[in-house]
Amino acid sequence: MSAPEPQRYHVVTFGCQMNAHDSERITGMLEQRGMQPATSSDDADVVVFNTCTVRDKPDQKLYTQLKQAKGSKRRRGGAQVIAVGGCLVEAQRDILLREFPWVDVAFGPGRISDLGNYLELSDGEGAGVGLVPGSGEGYYGIGDERVFASELPTRRERPHHAWVQISMGCNMKCAYCIVPAVRGRERSRAFSEIVTEIEQLAADGVREVGLLGQNVNSYGNELPRDAGPRTFAELLRAVDAVQGIDRVRYTSPHPAHMRDDVIAAMAECSTVMPQLHLPAQAGANRVLKAMRRTYTRERYLDLVHKIRAAMPDISLSTDIIVGFPGETEAEFLETVDLCEQVRFDGAYTFSYSPRAGTEAAAMEASFIPAAEQQRRLEHLIATVRSIANERHERFVGRTEPVLVEGADRRGRQRLRGRTPHNVKVNFEGDAVQGDIVPVSIVHATSESLLGRQVVAVAAG
């Protein structure tokens, strides 16, 4: 008798790095339970949507995909489990299951570690997913019910790179942001647990780790003060000491918590890469204050100065929101000017999007019209792109150690990888995934580099 066909899953991920990592855990857990990836949602026994609700756009995308999922479930005669997780679920817990009754399970971002049980418990048969479609259960919580999903196995997107969650939630009160409402107050993972996970990753062949949190550099604030090391700077030093880990990055820090001890640890630890994502959000003091960012333009620029004094070649990137309620043209131009002064290597740029329940969503009278937001966004993108292009030119003619990720996605006879500054490189060479090889850079754009692997010439 032939073995039964394995059940298949399809995971659709929206949003930030944290979600990408949560999806790695979800996928790892499903595979541990004997499932295999499907080629599309039509072909899947279980479809998991891991959602984002930071802006309206991902919300709309999800609704479209959920409507399509209703079709795929119907085509399979109802034999498909649809699970929706992530931030949107927490924000819309009252309406999601009502508006989309074909969704079988809804689970907030703090409840991922139990997803296997939610799917399995419904049929009570052990391994595999046998949930009765249509049961429409919801599992939520932004308080003590939240659990780090660190116990789940992970299916990493890049075999030699791993994300490691160090904290969950956020205690800041940025006026535009829904994250604190959907992910709850900040909680740090135990220091030793993080270091142990990274030691295990190194033993598993991982060479680069990215420490993840909504506000990574306030890590440890609520950990006991007398129980050994607990600050973010101490964590960077401890991770730097893990044998086998060659590259350490982190995202996202908050400028207000970027203390001298963190800058010193970055500068002194050889594995902590010369790259920092430092969200500025805006360049005008009135807007920064209305956003409740807790720093001024001058403090942000001083911080950049301090970081560059310690690490002159560091690459800096940022997040910017244009069209925050009441933002004037002059204030917008101050943001453009901030970008010109700092000379970021890259930036994620967003149009302000009102999120129900946040402070800024109530400033309706001063919302900026969508067409004007779009004009500002395009202006900013053009500025940021041209600066990034110029910044990347500094690499041309240099030889950079590149961590190889695999074959160039466009299928040419080339490899792809990343430099210490986290810039993507496509290059000719014969290295294999996971190698760190010298690559001579011959061309730069605002997004990536082009190069050639340097081959050592044998002596004699």
- Binding residues (CB under 6 A) for ligand SF4: these are 170, 172, 174, 177, 179-180, 214-215, 254
Q: Is residue 342 within the footprint of ligand SAM (CB under 6 A)? A: no
| Dihedral pair phi/psi, residue 59, rounded to 5° | -60, -50
First to last CA, the chain: 63
Judged by CB under 6 A, the residue of 166, 321, 377, 387 near ligand SAM is: 321
Smallest gap from residue 182 Cβ to ligand SAM (A): 10
CA dihedral 123, 128, 133, 137 (to 10 degrees): 70
Q: Whole-angstrom Cα distance, residue 68 to residue 74?
A: 10
| Residue closer to ligand SF4, measured from CB, 180 or 434 | 180
How is residue 215 annotated by DSSP? T
Which of positions 139-178 make contact with ligand SAM (CB under 6 A)?
A: 176-177
| Residue closer to ligand SAM, measured from CB, 286 or 414 | 286
Question: Is the bond preceding residue 315 a cis peptide, omega within 30 degrees?
Answer: no
Smallest gap from residue 79 Cβ to ligand SF4 (A): 39
CB-CB contact of 216 with 167 (8 Å): yes
Judged by CB under 6 A, the residue of 41, 122, 214, 426 near ligand SAM is: 214
Q: Sheet containing 346-351: give its strands across.
A: 275-277, 315-322, 346-351
Distances 224 to 148, 188, 190, 219, 237 between C-alpha atoms, Å: 19, 11, 10, 12, 19
| Residue closer to ligand SF4, measured from CB, 172 or 238 | 172
- Helix 260-268 to helix 297-310 angle (10° resolution) is 30
Name the 3-class secondary structure at 80: coil
Judged by CB under 6 A, the residue of 30, 47, 54, 212 near ligand SAM is: 54
Q: Is residue 179 within the footprint of ligand SAM (CB under 6 A)? A: yes
Q: Which stretch binds ligand SAM (CB under 6 A): 98-106, 116-124, 349-357, 391-399?
A: 349-357
For the chain, helix, strand, coil in percent to 5 are 35, 20, 40
Smallest gap from residue 216 Cβ to ligand SF4 (A): 10
Q: Whole-angstrom Cα distance, residue 385 to residue 41?
A: 36
DSSP string, 156-178: -SSTTEEEEE-EES-----TT--
Smallest gap from residue 238 Cβ to ligand SF4 (A): 24
Q: Which two tokens stand for residue 298?
A: 């001058």
Judged by CB under 6 A, the residue of 350, 376, 402, 427 near ligand SAM is: 350
If we measure between CA atoms, which residue out of 211, 330, 346, 347 comes closest to residue 272?
A: 211
Beta strands in 329-385 (DSSP E): 346-351
Q: Whole-angstrom Cα distance, residue 229 to residue 87?
A: 31
| Residue closer to ligand SAM, measured from CB, 191 or 295 | 295
| Residue closer to ligand SAM, measured from CB, 7 or 351 | 351
Which of positions 216-275 make contact with ligand SAM (CB under 6 A)?
A: 252, 254
| Residue closer to ligand SF4, measured from CB, 46 or 88 | 88
Q: Which does 158 bind (CB under 5 to 8 A by kind): ligand SF4, ligand SAM, none?
A: none
Q: Which does 182 bind (CB under 5 to 8 A by kind): ligand SF4, ligand SAM, none?
A: none
| Residue closer to ligand SAM, measured from CB, 7 or 165 | 165
Q: Which does 255 bind (CB under 5 to 8 A by kind): ligand SF4, ligand SAM, none?
A: none
Q: Which does 180 bind (CB under 5 to 8 A by kind): ligand SF4, ligand SAM, none?
A: ligand SF4
Q: Is residue 319 within the footprint of ligand SAM (CB under 6 A)? A: yes
Q: Is residue 281 within the footprint of ligand SAM (CB under 6 A)? A: yes
The full length of the chain comes to 460
Q: List residues binding ligand SAM (CB under 6 A).
A: 16, 54-55, 176-177, 179, 214-215, 252, 254, 279, 281, 319, 321, 350, 352-353, 355
